[in-house]
Structure 1
Amino acid sequence: MTGPGSGDEVGLVHGPAADAALRLAAAELGGDLERSALRSVDHRPGSGATAVHDVLVRRPDGSAVPAVLALTTEVDSLDGATGTLVLASDDVRLGVWVLPHDPALPGLVPAMDTGAVADLLSDCGVPTRPQDVTLDLRAYRPRRRAVVEARAHGASVFLKVVPPRHARGLHRRHRELTAAGVAAPRSLGTDPRGVVVLERLGGETWRSTMRQGLPTPDATELWATMDRLPGSLLLAPRRPSWCEQSWHHVALLGAALPSAADTVRTVAAEADVAAEVARLPVVPVHGDLYEAQVMVTRGRLSGVLDLDTAGPGHRVDDEACVLAHLALLPLAHPDVTDACAAELHEHLAVATSEPELLWRRTALVLLTLATGPVRNRRPGWERRTQQWLGLPRVMLQQAHRRPWTHGPDLLPRLLAAVDD
């Protein structure tokens, strides 16, 4: 295995060096690498990088076996876990694992096994046979979390896989939320290996309803739901908000696009209102609230998803997260521009946070979201990243005009300024 020096973390897990590692890993699976496609890159500058690849392995008998392989420079974290491999050449060491053998998510193995899932569902009061179970991996962040959809008897649940130490707390949180009347998925049970069985909510995501031109919930309905978050969440561990993790995103963007590093640092400095936010009341918050986390049925809010991050925080960060995603979505999906413009105006109008503070906090969330193209590395990701960085820059440039007082044409004007 040859490739970049050990200082080039991303170059080791994505690119020619990664291709050599994938071929060695395919040989360990008993075949030759026929093709591969990058799914995502998770880079923590100075700490390491992990990339997930979809591969097809051709075996000697001619059969083709699809697999998902993860490559990481953080070899020490593997600690001899089952299903992992360490590849070494000169000063380069790479760790490899084949899904579902994520060393930090041992629950992913049973969550991807129909027999184990049937047993788990039966233990949760849903008698199930292995032959009736179908499984689909819906989301995966290496060593952090995964979501598997399990279907049986015409119904489905979601298996949330987290590091084992977090599972019981997540289970209790969902039970507390539903007991308090919050429209959240009910937890049916948990597995000590880190699997939480969550009831499927009805309806479609808020994002999907906007894309289809269907009615969406009134803004006051969403924030009334957030007001019902129970006070018990204040006892949960305090998790950094998107904005409080902005230093990581600044480093990631600077490492991925050195030409944009100065712009990134300038935007982060101009959007920095950490001292003002620290003086605000600490209240129960969602922690990662945006249009893909909200379920809608016939124009009414029917539930809120992904409450892993729920706990103590500041209301301004939930509001900024919603606004930032509404502002950014048209850059990826132009068909929702009009819908997002109307929603952005409505949610700005009902926001309870001080307007300029909220505006700058929203710009900072947008800066963190600009890492999206960097993570997926699809063709043209550099151009998209530059475009996405343009939105928080334009927002801050126009802050002196008090844009939050403008009407539904605010978002189209912001987007037009980005394109100029």
Structure 2
Amino acid sequence: MSSPILPSAASRGGVHQSRDQVEIHQLAFLQSEAVHPLIAEAFLGKGVPPPQVTMEAVQHRPGAGATGIYRVSSQEEMYVGVTTEHVTDRAEGVLRSQSERGQLVLWQHPMDPLLPGLQLATDPGSVTATWGAGSQLTALQTVSYRPLRRAVISADFSDGRRIYLKVLREGHAPELAARHRMLVEADVPAPVPVGDPICDVLALEQGRGISLAEHFMADGAAAVRPADFVQLLDALPVGVMGLPARDAWTDRLPAYASAAISALPQCERRIRRLEEEVLEGVGVTDRGPMVPTHGDYYEANLLMQGPSISALLDVDSLGPGYRVDDLACFLGHLAVLPAVDARYIHAPAAFDRFARVFAAGVDPESLRIRTAAVGLSLVAGARDVRGGGWQEQADHRLRCAEVLLGLTPSAGDLPHWPAVL
């Protein structure tokens, strides 16, 4: 009922400097027509008319490799994944091919080798039988898909229910279910699991409300209190401290800088300068104490009913961390909203209002530097192989980070750090 969609997202993971150029060449190869014959031969065999191959999305994870999703149109249409990442020999349903850029691993959607539950979550009959509760499935749509990592599928039923199916790597679904239950038991408004995970798929009830992003677009969230978002973090239960800790944005900055360079190679000098400024700044500012954190705290993961927070989404990264990193994540995403959509004309004013409140509870200079780091981490996420103009969006995000660090003058559509905090 739906095609796989790879969302624009910042690359995650570590990177080794010697791999940068290798991965940039791999990324260019996957985006070129040179990979098309390999795809055709792998899935259609030799001696058949060449199919039409269209790249739908690309993902780059510095230090791990690059992955492309392709639509292949021949006698029938299929979607194919191709990656330069290492995939264990035990993975089922994959093909392997040698290319000028090394070994490629290929699979036909939805047989993602590291997301075995994707087949269950994208099959209408299986979804109806597993989660329908006697109702008929009326829609099944891919919300997001990060090949080899995770996927989210929405399922609508004739009784009016909508649930979200989160497809995770083997063994991770029970951990995520436990996070949701921990928050619900602490009266934190998180989506409620629909039973236990099945085949590495966790079904979640739909959260109530609309995205905070809609409020930012409408009027800069004028009726929303910034302090409420600090209080929501205060409400995270102490049990979060027992979960595994994960690196924050600044901890993975070299990887994000490499990903940004792969997207904007002509801006390498600017990106490296920004990286150096951030790394120097985080070493001399106060990060504060370790506390329960969300780990991916920004407008897309917050639902609102009126001016009140009604749901906290995407709690995969919940764990011990630093409050300043959660707040920087929020502000960094808010800063780049005008680069995402020109209709976010109120974002600069909203940024000023939220930054003043957030800075009251943490080291303001640490917050400023880490907010710029988040802005840099979002540069590569502008890449869109299906449409033009994304380079301008990526450059806009880069300029947002530069303005926050004072490396370039501010402009009307670029939020700047409040002068007095």
Secondary structure, aligned partner of 1:312: strand
Tell me, yes or no, if structure 1 residue 204 matches structure 2 residue 210.
yes
Secondary structure, aligned partner of 2:316: helix
Paired residue for 2:396?
387
Q: CA RMSD in A?
A: 2.9
Tell me, yes or no, if structure 1 residue 10 matches structure 2 residue 15.
no
Paired residue for 2:79?
68
Paired residue for 1:104?
114
Structure 1 counterpart of 2:307, which letter? G
**Is the Cα contact below 8 Å between 2:263 and 2:380 reproduced in 1?**
no
Paired residue for 1:295?
303
Structure 1 counterpart of 2:145, which letter? Y
Deviates more, 1:211-220 or 1:389-398: 211-220
Following superposition of structure 1 onto structure 2, how do residues 343-354 of structure 1 map, counting pairs within 5 Å?
343-351=350-358, 352-354=361-363
Paired residue for 1:363?
372
- Encode CA deviations 1:337-376: one digit per residue, 9 max, x unaligned: 22x1232122112111111111111111111111112465
- Encode CA deviations 1:101-129: one digit per residue, 9 max, x unaligned: 1111111111112232234326xxxx235
Aligned-residue offset at 1:386:
2.6
Distance across 1 between alignment mates of 2:308 and 2:186: 19
Paired residue for 2:195?
189
Aligned-residue offset at 1:32:
5.8
TM-score by length of 2: 0.84
**Is the Cα contact below 8 Å between 1:327 and 1:411 reproduced in 2?**
no
Tell me, yes or no, if structure 1 residue 57 matches structure 2 residue 73.
yes
- Encode CA deviations 1:241-294: one digit per residue, 9 max, x unaligned: 122111111122234433322211110111224435675201111111111111
Deviates more, 1:308-317 or 1:365-374: 365-374
Structure 1 counterpart of 2:195, which letter? G
In structure 2, the CA distance between the partners of 1:416 and 1:327, relative to structure 1 (3 Å rule), is closer
Structure 1 counterpart of 2:402, which letter? R
In structure 2, the CA distance between the partners of 1:90 and 1:271, relative to structure 1 (3 Å rule), is closer
Paired residue for 2:251?
244
Following superposition of structure 1 onto structure 2, how do residues 107-256 of structure 1 map, counting pairs within 5 Å?
107-121=117-131, 127-128=133-134, 131-132=136-137, 134-152=139-157, 153-213=159-219, 217-256=224-263
Paired residue for 1:284?
292
Aligned-residue offset at 1:28:
5.5
Unmatched tracts of structure 1, length 5 or more: 402-409
Distance across 2 between alignment mates of 1:385 and 1:250: 13
In proportion to residue count, which structure has more helix?
Answer: 1
Structure 2 counterpart of 1:120, which letter? T
Structure 1 vs Structure 2: percent identity of aligned residues? Answer: 31
Aligned-residue offset at 1:192:
4.7
Deviates more, 1:238-247 or 1:168-177: 238-247
Distance across 2 between alignment mates of 1:172 and 1:165: 12
Deviates more, 1:315-324 or 1:266-275: 266-275
**Is the Cα contact below 8 Å between 2:348 and 2:415 reproduced in 1?**
no
Distance across 1 between alignment mates of 2:124 and 2:47: 24
Secondary structure, aligned partner of 1:193: coil
Q: What is the number of equivalent residue pairs in this alignment? A: 391
- Find the partner of 2:318 among 310, 313, 335: 310
Distance across 1 between alignment mates of 2:47 and 2:223: 51
In structure 2, the CA distance between the partners of 1:254 and 1:7, relative to structure 1 (3 Å rule), is closer
TM-score by length of 1: 0.84
Aligned-residue offset at 1:100:
1.1
Paired residue for 2:37?
20
Structure 1 counterpart of 2:196, which letter? T
**Is the Cα contact below 8 Å between 2:240 and 2:318 reproduced in 1?**
yes
Aligned-residue offset at 1:26:
4.8
Deviates more, 1:248-257 or 1:87-96: 87-96
**Is the Cα contact below 8 Å between 1:12 and 1:73 reproduced in 2?**
no
Secondary structure, aligned partner of 1:95: strand
Structure 1 counterpart of 2:325, which letter? D
Deviates more, 1:92-101 or 1:102-111: 92-101
